[in-house]
Amino acid sequence: MNKRIEIYSFIAGAVFLISGFAKSIDSALFAQTITQYGFGDLWFMAPIIIIVELYLGLNLILNLNQRLMAAISTIFVVLLTGIFLYGWLAQDVTDCGCFGPIKVLSSSPWISLLRNAILLYLCIDVWINTPREPINTNWVINSTFILVLCLAAFMSGYTSRTTSGTGASLKMISTKPVALSENKLSDFIETSPDSTYLVFAFSYQCPHCFNSMENLKQYEEKGAVDKVIGLTIRNSRGRKFFEDYFNPQFTIKEYRPDSLLELTNQFPTIYYVRNDSIVEQMQGELPAALFFMKERGIDTSHLYAVLETENDTTNVVAIDSDSIPAEATDIQ
């Protein structure tokens, strides 16, 4: 076999292997990257793409059915490059997510395109210059069997993590006050020392986040905190559905997956901020504002008026919340 073809095949295979292993470190991050491209319904493709990259990489490095693998790799690279171009030009995606959470391998859009062009050249060269060989039927059967097993195992682990990563019951992560300036959260919000904040990090695809929304809208409205701030991953389709369905009356800031997931990869995550300090950090579905206020000794007398009757009983009358102005939504 031509030595040049062997080298090109090895380099292309190594790129696929590194890319696949890097994404597998945090497959949920890669799934969020897919939604950033505007393909929210295709998040399940994340583990499939990872398995395909690993499969192509191993075959190219080991010179197994080299011509066929090079042909498939060529189509694969062209497809992914086209998707990245669409994401960059139409969705303002600047990080292709090719190497998952490994920051040192991240690059600008132009460098990503140049890298893909070089990889495409290597794959085409191997494809064109590798002699035709009959395809081994046993290899096809064995490869298909292994692929299905790997994909099933990967999907099982991925969906298990996805489910556990968005818990239903509220879990207290920390009650030790931490100065906001010493926490990554300071990169996402600006605060005033004489105000209180509830920062709600969530995802447009998280059912437990959805279950928290009606309670969340009460926190600012009922005076539990001075301001509610939502942090989420940018997703134009998800945002439209979210706005139409929930009509949120609080500030929402959107970020790229790699940015927000540096803060947390568990949704929902809630931060209670007071006096420029993170007083509490929680994960899970948010309780009603009234319970939150009572547990923290926050005055609730403005919510209820107690009237004594002649029979020594009490009636509780809730004050109309419409009299409390709500802040306009600010999608950034």
- Between 182 and 240, residue with greater pLDDT: 182
Provide mean pLDDT across the span 202-219. 87
Contact predicate 298/224, CB 8 Å: yes
Q: Average model confidence (pLDDT) for the chain?
A: 80
Quick one: pLDDT at residue 324?
A: 37
Sign of CA dihedral 181, 184, 185, 186: positive
The residue written with tokens 């939502």 in the block is 230
Instruction: Reply yes or no on whether the pLDDT at 319 is more than 50.
Output: no
What confidence tens digit (pLDDT) does each residue in 106-156 have? Answer: 788 899 999 999 999 999 999 999 988 776 666 666 666 676 666 666 555
Residues above pLDDT 70, as percent of the chain? 80
Could you state, in order of their start, the residue ranges of all structural domains in the chain?
Answer: 3-164, 171-331
Q: How many CA atoms lie within 13 A of 231 on its CB side?
A: 28
Would you call 316 helix, strand, or coil by DSSP? strand
Over the range 127-154, which residues count as b (16 or more CB within 10 Å of their CB) and which as e?
beebeeeeeeeeeeeebeeeeeeebeeb
Would you call 173 helix, strand, or coil by DSSP? strand
Sign of CA dihedral 144, 147, 149, 152: negative
Would you call 2 helix, strand, or coil by DSSP? coil
Q: Taking Cα atoms as reference points, which of 21, 12, 7 lies closest to residue 115?
A: 12
Contact predicate 51/154, CB 8 Å: yes
Average the pLDDT over each of 45-59, 85-99, 261-275 and give the range with the smallest value.
85-99
Quick one: pLDDT at residue 331?
A: 45
Instruction: Reply yes or no on whether the pLDDT at 54 is more than 50.
Output: yes
Q: Could you say which architecture CATH assigns to the domain 171-331?
A: 3-Layer(aba) Sandwich (3.40)
What confidence tens digit (pLDDT) does each residue in 164-195 have? Answer: 344 457 788 888 889 999 999 999 999 998 99
What confidence tens digit (pLDDT) does each residue in 241-297 have? Answer: 888 889 888 999 998 777 887 888 788 899 999 999 999 999 888 988 888 888 888
Quick one: pLDDT at residue 140?
A: 65
Q: Taking Cα atoms as reference points, which of 256, 252, 260 lies closest to residue 234?
A: 256
Instruction: Reply yes or no on whether the pLDDT at 85 is more than 70.
Output: yes
Average the pLDDT over each of 70-79, 84-93, 213-222 and give the range with the smallest value.
84-93
Q: Per the structure block, which two tokens stand in for 198?
A: 């509830």
